[in-house]
Structure 1
Amino acid sequence: MTICCLNPDCSHSLNDDLNKVCVNCNTALFPLLRNRFRVIRVLSQEGGFGKTYLAQDSDKLNEQCVIKQLAPRIEGNWALKKAVELFEKEAQRLQELGEHPQIPKLIAYFEQDSCLYLVQQFIDGQNLLEELESRRENDTWLRCYSETEIREFLLNLLPVLQFIHECGVVHRDIKPQNIIRRSSPKDLLGDLVLIDFGSSKQLQPKLKLKAGTSIGSHGYSAIEQIRDGLAYPASDLFSVGATSFHLITGISPFQLWAEHGYGWMSSWEKYLNYPVSDEFGNILDKLLKKEIEQRYQSAAEVIADLEQPQNYPVFLPPLISASEQFIPPTEIPAKPIYPNLKKLKSVLMAIAAITMFLTGEFWYWKTREAQRSNPDSIAQPNVQLSKTEETNQSLGQAIAAQTLNLNYDSVSSIAIAPDSKTMVTNSIFGVKLWSLVTKQEISVFNDHSLKINVVAIDPYGTKFVSAGDDKIIKIWNLATGQEIRTLSGHTSEIHALAFSPDGKILASGSDDNSIKLWNVSTGEEIARFEGRDRISSLAFDSVGKILASGSSDGRIKIWDIVTQKLLRTLSNSSSKVYSVNFVEKSGRTNNNSVIGSYNNIIRMWNPLTGEIIRTFRGHSRLVTSTAVSPRSNLLASGSSDQTIKLWNLHTGELLATLRGHSATVESLAFNREGNILISSAQDRTIKIWQIPIF
């Protein structure tokens, strides 16, 4: 038999039950937690604050249970205090809601060895997001839920909501991940179980948090939760509607929120794979109303409408052949899959959507601005949008730029998603997610305890990562905004991150002079390279076999990923190397050439021979950032001379100088198509440049 180490930082926690201490981290082992619970294995990480374990309850004939651990390791951190508060409230809610068969039972809540533990009933089954994704993996012809299945889902879940609302509790975070379908339903009991009451709140006449404190999950949560911190039973019903939409279309509401804010609900029908009945469409319409007064006010009202006699045909989705491409649950179709048959209704809905945007959305953002100007609010500073346009005769076309004024914030790292619709940036407030469609901030993620220095998005646009002064790396789900895992091992600040081309390996560089390679799927450290000075930049070649690193001592080093050896040192300047890039084969440039910047020049090398291919001169001061366009022969460089320069990679010719920033340009990023360049500078602005493709 094995015994599980309870050290939240232990990466290999399983031990032989004869061991007294963990063979991996040397932490004392406990055969039984609180002399009752035998911990079997780790189920998941809990946002960097502990783990969730599968265990056996020795007082109940070794019945399986789930143990959530909260291991506070950082003093005075707001995120930690909030986590402790939510952890305790989850235990309180589970205790209050008692013996309902569709809510996990609270078994125990206690503190041991400076950690908090919550023990609850184990629910054997899949959550609905896993169930939806498994349909695709198993090549099921019914890839998304049918109308009949959604009706069954609602009639199964809504009585649970009616119960908790009558108990004075609002869940506040209903989404597919928080609903589990039992593998073996018990007789006539519902087979859906509602979990994760960590965000729930006792219902009061006016449930209001501190101004600007949003609660819930973007896309699934009603506007009153995200904007005002208010939550009512009708707020949970909006989340039920958004969850139903996700299940019936396979499209994540979070992605739609990222693009359209709350405008997508007025035209939800255009994302359907197949038509639904008018009666069911009216129910989903009312669940998804933006304004709370127009929504269902109780679960009982929804149930009553669902149980009306059905004297109409229920449409079933057409048979889909295995060869047809399926759009993943987190991907939005470029065009509606099913054209709406009700032309007139579509026109009216479009007019309503425009009206809503011009009125409701405008005042929504104005409200946010007012909240952020309030000194008592903890909301982030307002972002104002302005437009400028610059014309460069070298390109022969106008290069338009939009400016995001950050006011109190600063950005030194930018990453653009492959679909060019979203970007992430570092921030003094956390990691910020932006919509490049609306040019608005979508969300802020702040589970780091100190400043975040660098962000990156994986090549498929499914994950993003963040790292900084707290010496840890966090991996996030880009579609849902949920934290996946935390990577720890560096002993000093982290300033560089890079994904391999296949997205399976993450490289990190730190002020501890080391580079670490991580398995993205498991979080395991798979290699470590030692440098001579602080690592400032990293880049993989196009096939993921070579890694380039730039450091504060002016060296650019080429590492072999397969043999884990240093191949060559390209530069030996006294100036810090702020950025390195690889250039794929294009025209007369060599395959996998390396771009590096130091002092006020940029050089291109052959990484295998060390031969200098080309030198780019033109900046009058230090070059602080570079970016290579994936689809054209453009190199962009930013400098402390406050300019951005565009270069021809084939010839080294200076094509254009972009002016507009009033301080050092700190970060540059091209989108995948190469027609957008985004820059940030110490003047607390982000500029979005439209670049002609030639």
Structure 2
Amino acid sequence: MIYCLNPSCEKPRNSDTTFCQNCGTQLISQLRNRYRIIQPLGGGGFGRTFLAEDEDKLNEHCVVKQLAPQVQGTSALVKATELFQEEARRLQQLGEHPQIPILYAYFRHDNYLYLVQQFILGQTLRQELRQQGTFSEEKIWKLLTELLPIIKFIHEHQVIHRDIKPENIIRRSPREDLVLIDFGVAKQLTATSLEQTGTTIGSFGYAPMEQMKYGSAYPASDLFSLGVTCFNLLTGIHPSGLYMEHGYNWVMHWRQHLKSPLSPQLVQVLDKLLQKDIEHRYQSVDELLQDLHQKPQPASIPRDFSLPQPPSRINPRQSVFPSTVLQPRIQLKHKLLAGGIILLLGLGGYIYWQSLGYIPTLTGHLSEVNSLAFNPSGTTLASGIDDKTIKLWNLNNKQEIRTLKGHSDKVYSVAISPDGQTVVSGSKDNTIKIWNLNTGKEIRTLTGHTALVNSVAISSDGQNIASGSYDNTIKIWNLNTGQELQTLIKHTSAVLSVAFSSDSQTLVSGSAVREIKVWNLKTGKVLRTLPPHSGDVNALAISPDGQMLASASDDKTVKVWKLNTGKEISPLTGHSGHVNSVAFSPDGEHIAAGSDDKSVKIWNLDTGEVLDLKGHSGKVYAVAFSPDGKTLVSGGKDKTIKIWQLR
């Protein structure tokens, strides 16, 4: 198997051939006759990351980063290239430390820049927090003891990391030592840089005021981020929510969020790390290490104490879900970078960024965009439109591939099969059509509904289609033959939305009489009817793990339910108009929704934070996450599709 390195290729996996079977690009079995790409690890604003094998090191795993920035304009590209080169220089400079990834190579091939670095097997502290819960005081002391020598090392090499947070600290397996990663935004500390302000970059809540407001970074700046990291791991509370609500004043009251007491020694250390003003903080790692020598013995650390608890957070990995969720309203913040790049940061590790004054937009629709669906590789997007058509788009070059014509009325819903070969559409003409995605040819038309088809869904095993109609019924069809398998008749009003569970055994439906029904597809029986919304149920989504259901309604809320019991977890509020669409991120940690209020909101289910995305000039009817979770798309009444880049 050879992986095509053309960033625009829709189907990059190939057998051992000379040219890509999809895009025609000449295939490279090994970069520099040495590095063989195995699989993609993800991508972001500045490039794509791959897991690879190094033939010169007995096929040892390594990480290959390819610079393929999704930016508009020469100045933005220059800045992206500069940041990529700086990351390589930092790794080369610092890689002699055993707890910093080693730079193996940096080179250009076919007009793309590549960076090859050491692969670190393990999990980030963010992942550890989610799996094991909040850290004890002993664990925080141990973290400081292990991490401070690494930070001291980089500071002695005149480098400020500028983005210390749980996501950028890996506990290596099986050694269990800590590794500091992601030097893509690191800053060289020189006499010149001390006198000048620079690029404002970092993560909201973790980065100190001098860094976010003035673009300045010092050793004390990294120590502030270290203090916030400790706070996050101790409390489980993401600091971006506190930052958005209170600014930097939240650090003055960090102790009120503790769930159990800390020793006076650790309180003193964290107090000094979390000072808003840089002159009141520790100025160096050595200064902090002196206080660490005074840490208490384990027996003297308090272990049981009760404080008033803040509202619980939704944690999709817990077996028992809380009934409330903290929901600070977070407006999307942005920072101007040199070269015209806007960095948008916040919301549980998500980083949104666009070029200055530019939200990538797909135009060319003649009417409203009602539905959106990605193919499995995330390279092709289908949009269902009021003008009776479906459009297919190439997300890499933002160009229309083709328009599918055949419906005689508005297309309300589209879905793409798990194998990426088939598009299914539901229309006001009472029919469902099945199309070949690669050729755009209509395969067959399914008839049987006596009123418009408002929603279609394809089961995760790729075998069946579900369609919800204004004739108050749901029909289940065989995707391959078009045969009608069963009709579900229990709703007393129009069926507005349908969704399959991840195991394809359960179907959920929502209706215009505000009710949600959960069906057993083997028996065709209703398992349960959920308590009603106070408005029409316009859209449904089931989390990838099959544990949670999200429902969007005219009552301006998204409700989150435990699917196997029907228990409501919590409503997600903030929209001021009807909520028309809802989607789970691929990791199940975020929910996005589009509304009549012209905005898209994204909620973090771990923290309850909500992020507003504004850019549409009309009602938002559709939202969809890309399969890798790196992109969100939204479409609506303004006849456009907006593309929101996530890292």
Letter in 1 for 2:227: G
Structure 1: how far apart are the matches of 2:273 and 2:135? 18
| Partner residue, 1:468 | 361
| Partner residue, 2:143 | 153
| Partner residue, 1:8 | 7
Partner residue of 2:256 out of 270, 287, 290: 270
| Partner residue, 2:373 | none
Q: TM-score, normalised by structure 1?
A: 0.53
Structure 2: how far apart are the matches of 1:157 and 1:205? 26
Q: State the shift of 1:274 in Å.
A: 1.5
| Partner residue, 1:177 | 167
Partner residue of 1:489 out of 380, 384, 392: 380
Q: State the shift of 1:293 in Å.
A: 0.3
Structure 2: how far apart are the matches of 1:469 and 1:681? 13
Structure 1: how far apart are the matches of 2:242 and 2:419? 29
| Partner residue, 2:98 | 101
**Is the Cα–Cα contact under 8 Å of residues 220 and 242 in structure 1 kept in the other structure?**
yes
Letter in 2 for 1:307: H
Distance 1:213 1:568, change over 3 A: farther
- SS for the counterpart of 1:39 is strand
Partner residue of 1:307 out of 284, 293, 296: 293
| Partner residue, 1:223 | 209
Structure 1: how far apart are the matches of 2:355 and 2:427? 26
Structure 2: how far apart are the matches of 1:670 and 1:46? 20
**Is the Cα–Cα contact under 8 Å of residues 251 and 330 in structure 1 kept in the other structure?**
no
Structure 2: how far apart are the matches of 1:97 and 1:486? 35
Q: How does 1:382-531 map to 2 (within 5 A)?
A: 420-422=327-329, 445-447=352-354, 451-452=358-359, 468-469=361-362, 487-490=378-381, 517=415, 527=423, 529=425
Residue 158 of structure 2 is aligned to residue 168 of structure 1:
yes
Partner residue of 1:559 out of 450, 455, 465: 455
Letter in 2 for 1:275: P
Distance 1:558 1:450, change over 3 A: farther
Structure 1: how far apart are the matches of 2:172 and 2:150? 15
Structure 2: how far apart are the matches of 1:52 and 1:59? 20
Structure 2: how far apart are the matches of 1:605 and 1:215? 43
Q: Which has the higher contact order (CA 8 A, sep 6+)?
A: 2
Structure 2: how far apart are the matches of 1:22 and 1:681? 37
| Partner residue, 2:35 | 37
Identity %: 39
Partner residue of 1:130 out of 127, 131, 136: 127
Q: State the shift of 1:181 in Å.
A: 1.1
Structure 1: how far apart are the matches of 2:191 and 2:315? 37
- SS for the counterpart of 1:561 is strand
Q: State the shift of 1:679 in Å.
A: 13
1:178-207: CA deviation from partner (whole Å, max 9, x where unpaired): 11111132xxxx811111111001102363
Q: State the shift of 1:425 in Å.
A: 6.8
Structure 1: how far apart are the matches of 2:74 and 2:420? 27
**Is the Cα–Cα contact under 8 Å of residues 104 and 123 in structure 1 kept in the other structure?**
yes
1:645-680: CA deviation from partner (whole Å, max 9, x where unpaired): 999xxxxxxxxxxxxxxxxx97379999xxxxx999
Distance 1:198 1:606, change over 3 A: closer
Letter in 2 for 1:272: L
Q: State the shift of 1:67 in Å.
A: 0.6
1:417-472: CA deviation from partner (whole Å, max 9, x where unpaired): 9855225579999797899xxxxxx99933368743xxxxxxxxxxxxxx63489x
Q: TM-score, normalised by structure 2?
A: 0.56
1:204-248: CA deviation from partner (whole Å, max 9, x where unpaired): 236379879421111111111111111000000001111111111
| Partner residue, 1:19 | 17
Structure 1: how far apart are the matches of 2:68 and 2:222? 30
Number of aligned positions between the proteins: 438
Structure 2: how far apart are the matches of 1:493 and 1:88? 41
Q: How does 1:255-404 map to 2 (within 5 A)?
A: 255-308=241-294, 310=296, 313-315=299-301, 317=303, 327=313
| Partner residue, 1:202 | 188
1:352-390: CA deviation from partner (whole Å, max 9, x where unpaired): xxxxxxxxxxxxxxxxxxxxxxxxxxxxxxxxxxxxxxx
Structure 2: how far apart are the matches of 1:280 and 1:250? 17
Structure 1: how far apart are the matches of 2:577 and 2:152? 60
Structure 2: how far apart are the matches of 1:153 and 1:423? 30
